[in-house]
Each structure stands twice: as structure tokens, then as C-alpha cells.
Amino acid sequence: FKVVSIPTKPVEGQKTGTSGLRKKVKVFQEENYLANWIQALFNSLSPEEYKNCALVLGGDGRYFNIEAAQIIIKIAAGNGVGKILVGRDGIMSTPAVSAVIRKREAKGGFIMSASHNPGGPENDWGIKFNYSSGQPAPEYITDKIYENTLSISEIKMANIPDTNLSQLGPVEYGSFTVEVIDPVSDYVELMENIFDFNLIKTLFSRSDFRFIFDAMHAVTGAYAKPIFVDKLGADVGCILNGVPLQDFGQNHPDPNLTYAKDLVDIMFAENAPDVGAASDGDGDRNMILGKHFFVTPSDSVAMIAANAQEAIPYFQNGPKGLARSMPTSGALDRVAEKLNLPFFEVPTGWKYFGNLMDAGKLSICGEESFGTGSDHIREKDGIWAVLAWLSIIAYRNKDKKEGEKLVSVSDVAKEHWESYGRNFFSRYDYEECEFEGANNMLKHLRDSISKSTPGEQYGSHILQFADDFSYTDPVDGCVVTNQGIRFVFTDGSRIIFRLSGTGSAGATVRMYIEQLEPDVSKHDLDAQTALKPLIDLALSISKMKEFTGRETPTVIT
Ligand code: VG1
Ligand code: CO
């Protein structure tokens, strides 16, 4: 095949955020917009990182993925890539891409997804690049890509025909091969090696246990039936919204109390199932519900960590270390302390966990934003988290006879709070605010932290310190700054503010509130009630309303 050189000019604004480049579909459809970024990426890697090597390509099934896949394949061929392993119909979840990169020793992979952002012609599209151990590209690579987007002048594209993405198997063009692979099988095999599938199968076979999974018309629709139904024997009716759609059925494919409303209604109805779960657009997030019970993600990772060794074969020698993102609650810290494990607090975004895992310092980690995972891959993993909870419930009930009362999700959670205390947690999102107001609010907060002094009284709390979080990677020494403004109090409560790095319009302000409650008699309080005074304090410290003009948040979790 021939390589055609296409002249091009730089376009503004191609800097990646917390997780890849996300814009409206219409922006990506502008001439050379995607092609420029992909070429800039190749310009940022050294030739040995891609020439004659394999790269993986997958996506969450959203609108524009099929066109985008063809562009990416041709530019990869034009730059001398040896092989592209692409998921059938362009489908592959984020965790599965990470798994396939690792298993097939590819040098990296592309994920066509804007994750939990809505899809369709009027909504969002996105692209992420993952590196050779399957982790999101580190900042020095994404910075380089951005620099190269500012000076790009040429796109190298192979003049090969469009690939039939529905036809499994390899197609060769001289030195370049594009192979359409089953997006599910490598991933399922990995899950079977991590969990005791027979244990979960026994739970599913009980007449007194019911499970429900909401794929939100997103990518886990492709994984749910092969895993929950075909392998584990669940009833096929347990899968809601199981067909991936280009517009996710016009919903936000975001598994939280606001956007996974169908599932929440079912789980809080009178005759609710025992375990309910959902995953997001690209399959890396998860929400776990018990009957009439919501497991807040910060608790979920702590509870998985506390139960992992006994319930999950992969962790039979105990986890090596635990980690969470900075705004995630301190529930996990207490587990690390009790199990005497190394513990790390990293900035928001999964890319910071990878180095710790590669260095053998970290096994289980999570984020408050419905992300949970382990070192089996280098991404957060929605289905993994669901299987982890199913394993815990299955293990706790393995000796229970039919009809005997089962240990429920809420029993596991309440027992956990009893021994560790409960970290009440809530996040308020103010989506699509004006940039100016949001930035001024952050400026005001930076100003307040510089004037604050430890020991000061804030409501009923005493300030331990206030800062703008920065992180030094203990493995490679890289430093990142300005990762979120935090007010940390002596009683373990925290108030945190940061701006989102994943939106495609305006500025999204996130406010995180946490308070530790050791008193068991208060554990049954609703989080919003328990946190009310601290929330009011946070709103007044930040002058939220004054700066953003918002009376109420758009999403509360
Ligand atoms: C959000 C979450 C963050 C998560 C990121 C990507 O980022 O807060 O914890 O890692 O999304 O998740 P931000 O910058 O908007 O707060 V996903 O499922 O979009 O890959
Ligand atoms: Co996601």
C-alpha cells in the first residue's frame, strides 16, 4: 500500500484532560481534527514504540466510533504500525483494552470513548491512549502530544480500504495487518483467573438470591451476558439495557444515583433484588447497590479491600498495598492501617495508580467517582468490581442453607462500619458553569488557604491544614501540582474543591465532603443529613452561589 502525505494545520484546544481528549462530536467531525491528534500522538512516541508493533483499538460503541476507527487504522498503517487489534464492530471496554494490551504484549491502545458523557451526534466523543502496560498515557506523553498538535503540518495515511469491522480475523496489507478480534474472550478468561466462578455460580443458583445488572445501553452490554448469564448461570432477564446503542438510549451512561435511575428505583422498591449493579459508557465505572442500600464508592473499595483475601482467589496472599484518589474518603486508609499495608493517596485520574502497580506496591485502589480496580490490569474495571462484590456475598453465604437468611450487602457494609467507623461522604457537582465564575471561586479558595492557619475554628471543626494538593510519584519522582483545594480538619473531616477535567462544555465544579463517624448509633443516618453542617460550611467558605450563580448542584452522589 502507499502512504499518502496529507497537509494539515494545527487546531487549538487539543489538550487532554483527566482522561483523554473529549469534545462534542461536531468538533471531532471537523476536517482533520481527529487525524491531527492521532498523527501528533505518533509524532510523540519513539519509533520503537510503534513501528512494526501491535496496538489495540476499541471503543464504547458511541456515535462516530466506526468512522473514527477507520481513520485511526489508516493513520496507524501510514506511520508504520505492524498490527492493529480491533474489537468487533469497534467495541471493546476500557478495562478490556487494558487487558488485551497486556495479554497480547501490544505497545499500547486507543480507546474511543467519552466514558460517562452522553453520546450521539449532538453530544460527546473522546479518545484515550493507553501505554504498554495497559495504563492511561502518563502526563509527559499527553503533554508531548499537545505540543505536537500545535505544530503539526502533515498526516501520514495509508491508502488502504475501510476495514470490515464485523468480520473476525486478520486482513493483511503487506507489512500491515488489521485483525478484528472478539472483544470479550480475553477479558472473560482474565476474570475466570481472578475470581472463583464456581462460588458465584452457586450463589446465582439459589432460589433466594436475585441479581440485576444495568448496562445502561453502553459497552458492558457486550460483556454482561457472556459473563453473568453464560458463565455464571444468571437468568438472562437480570440484564437491563443490555444492547449497546450509539446514543446510550439518550441517557448519560453514568452509573450513579441520578443517571442510573431505572436501577435505583428497582433496588429501592419493595420486592427488590439482593444485589444490583451498573457500569458506565466504557465499562470502567461501577455502582453497587444492595436491597434498599447504596454502597458509596469510597466505601466499596474499602470493603472490597477488607474482604479480598478470603473471598477472591487472586488476593489469596493478601493485597500488596492500597491506594485512593485524594478526594476519595478515608475509609480505605483505615483498612490499610488495620491490615498493615502500604497506602498511597494520588491525584484524581487512574493514570497515577499504574506506576505503583508496576512497582509491585499496589493491588487494590479506587476513586469516589465510581471507579474501583486492581493490578490485574491498569484501568478501573466495572465488571471486576461487580464480580468482587458478588464474590464477597457468595463467600459470606456459602454455608447458608436455602431459606436461611442471607448475609446481605447492607450487612457487610454495616459490619464494616462497626469495626472501622463510617466515613460519611458526598460529592456535589455543578456542571457547565461559566468559566469565569468557577475560576474566580478557585482563586478565592487559593487565597483563603494561603491565609488560613492550623488550629483555626471552622464551625465545629478545627483546621489541621489547608492546601492545594500536590503529588510526587514515589516511583518516577514526577511532581504534579494544583490537584484540588482541601481543608482538612483534626477530626478527620475534609472539604475539597476541584474543577473537572473531563467535561466538554463550560467548567464543572466538584465539591467533596467527608466526615468520619465512629459512633455506631449514628451509622444509619442518611449521608446528606449527617453531612449537612459540613456542606453548609463548604458552601459558605467557597461562596459557591456568589461565584457560580448556582443555588443547587446538578448532581449529588
Ligand atoms: C472524573 C472523575 C475521576 C475519573 C475521571 C475519568 O474526572 O472525577 O475520578 O478518573 O472522571 O473517569 P474529573 O476530572 O471530571 O473529575 V471515566 O469513567 O471518564 O474514564
Ligand atoms: Co468510564
Give the ipTM of the model, two decimals please: 0.97
Residue 501 CA: which ligand 1 atom is closest? Answer: 14
CB of 348 closer than 6 angstroms to any ligand 1 atom? yes
Q: What is the pLDDT of residue 447?
A: 95
C-alpha cell at 80: 508504520
C-alpha cell at 51: 513501528
Mean pLDDT of 315-331: 97
Nearest bound ligand to CA 282? 2
- Calculate what percentage of the chain has a pLDDT beyond 90: 95
C-alpha 329 to ligand 1 mean position (Å):
16
Q: What is the pLDDT of residue 457?
A: 93
**Confidence at 501, pLDDT banded by 50, 70, 90:** confident
CB of 501 closer than 6 angstroms to any ligand 1 atom? yes
CB of 500 closer than 6 angstroms to any ligand 1 atom? yes
Count, in order, helices (H) and strands (E) of the chain.
17, 27
Q: Which candidate, 9, 33, 11, places its Cα nearest to that of 153?
A: 9
CB of 281 closer than 6 angstroms to any ligand 1 atom? no
**115 in active site:** yes
C-alpha 344 to ligand 2 mean position (Å):
22
**Confidence at 388, pLDDT banded by 50, 70, 90:** very high
Strands 54-59 and 108-112: parallel
Torsion of CA 524, 525, 530, 532, to 10 degrees: 160
The one-letter code for the residue type at 520 is V
- Checking if the pLDDT of 516 tops 80, the result is yes
CB of 367 closer than 6 angstroms to any ligand 1 atom? yes
- Checking if the pLDDT of 308 tops 80, the result is yes
Q: What is the pLDDT of residue 18?
A: 76
Dihedral angle sign, alpha carbons of residues 8, 11, 379, 58: negative
| CA pair distance 364, 300, nearest whole angstrom | 11
Q: Which candidate, 168, 190, 191, 172, places its Cα nearest to that of 180?
A: 168
CB of 18 closer than 6 angstroms to any ligand 1 atom? yes
Ligand 1, from 369, 480, 498: best to mutate by most atoms within 8 Å of Cβ? Answer: 369
pLDDT tens-digit series, residues 435-477: 999 999 999 999 999 999 999 999 899 999 999 999 999 999 9
Give the residue whose CA is nearest to atom 5 of ligand 1: 349
pTM for the model: 0.95
Nearest bound ligand to CA 280? 2
For the stretch 50-66, what's the b/e string if a residue is b when 16 or more beta carbons lie within 10 angstroms of its beta carbon? beebbbbbbbbbbbbbb
C-alpha cell at 92: 471493546
CB of 148 closer than 6 angstroms to any ligand 1 atom? no
| CA pair distance 74, 68, nearest whole angstrom | 10
| CA pair distance 460, 233, nearest whole angstrom | 52
Q: What is the pLDDT of residue 331?
A: 97
Residue in 115, 279, 300, 542 annotated catalytic: 115
**Confidence at 120, pLDDT banded by 50, 70, 90:** very high
The one-letter code for the residue type at 516 is L
Find the length of the chain: 557
Q: Are 176 and 77 in contact (CB under 8 A)?
A: yes
Is residue 193 within a helix (H) or strand (E), and if so which, with residue range? helix 185-194
The one-letter code for the residue type at 411 is D
- Checking if the pLDDT of 504 tops 90, the result is no
C-alpha 497 to ligand 2 mean position (Å):
21
13: left (phi over 0), alpha (psi -120 to 50) or beta: left
Dihedral angle sign, alpha carbons of residues 489, 491, 492, 498: negative
Cα–Cα–Cα angle for 291, 293, 297, rounded to 5 degrees = 125
Q: What is the pLDDT of residue 285?
A: 97
Strands 343-346 and 322-325: parallel
| CA pair distance 143, 138, nearest whole angstrom | 9
Name all domains of the chain by residue range, CATH numbers in brackets: 3-183 (3.40.120.10), 187-420 (3.40.120.10), 422-556 (3.30.310.50)
- Checking if the pLDDT of 545 tops 90, the result is yes
The one-letter code for the residue type at 212 is I
Of 178-182, 418-422, 517-521, which gets the smallest average pLDDT? Answer: 517-521
Mean pLDDT of 356-381: 97
Mean pLDDT of 313-340: 97
| CA pair distance 216, 259, nearest whole angstrom | 9
Residue 510 CA: which ligand 1 atom is closest? Answer: 16
Residue 349 CA: which ligand 1 atom is closest? Answer: 10
CB of 502 closer than 6 angstroms to any ligand 1 atom? yes
C-alpha 85 to ligand 1 mean position (Å):
26
Of 169-183, 241-255, 336-350, 492-506, which gets the smallest average pLDDT? Answer: 492-506
Q: What is the pLDDT of residue 202?
A: 96
C-alpha cell at 340: 498493615
